[in-house]
Amino acid sequence: MMDIIRGRRSVRAFRPEPPSRTQLEQIIEAAGWAPSPHGRQPWRFAVITRDALKARLADAMGAEWRAQLALDGQDAATIALRHRKSQERITGAPAIIVPCLYLEDLDVYPDEGRQAAETTMAIQSLGCAIQNMLLAAFAQGLDTGWMCAPLFCPDTVRAALDLAPTMHPHALIPVGLAAKDPVRRPRRPLDELVVRWE
């Protein structure tokens, strides 16, 4: 297990060979085994393999991202370069899994504080489900990335993929075989991670 955890990497460029439907199903099944509040599994997944749909998603998200980069004061050349690279990450991936938060089955509380905690638990469990997916993909010899862009434009993603209003897109997970080895960032040592142990 530690070899899989250490071996998993975040890939941005993929070869064209697609993963099989069975491989994608196993990745989604692994997500379903993640811990979740009350065992409710507050996640749903859209699996995108059609080129036309990937292009539609990339175009819709790209238009919004360009506007956001302009608001950040980035110059036109930088915006164009970042937009192109983002488009290539989406359209160049053989498959994309879109994890969505699904809150309809969670407990409902009369007070705002507990309801917010319930939502936070669901979001945390979605992260666990995504991690399971990343590890399951790597265990099958596949590579993945984790793009959080849908958090900044959930309505755009929902519209591009024709998802129900109850689906809250949180990420894009490209899946395939790495076109090249990514540059890996160093990990913090244990003495920086543990703030108290007694």
pLDDT level of residue 1 (50, 70, 90 thresholds): very high
DSSP string, 104-125: TTS---SSHHHHHHHHHHHHHH
Position 139, amino acid: A
pLDDT at residue 83, as a whole number = 84
Q: Domain 2-178 is classified in which CATH homologous superfamily?
A: NADH Oxidase (3.40.109.10)
pLDDT level of residue 194 (50, 70, 90 thresholds): very high
pLDDT per residue as tens digits for the range 13-67: 999 999 999 999 999 999 999 999 999 999 999 999 999 999 999 999 988 888 8
Q: What are the extents of the domains in the chain?
A: 2-178
Q: Which tokens sit at 192?
A: 């920086």
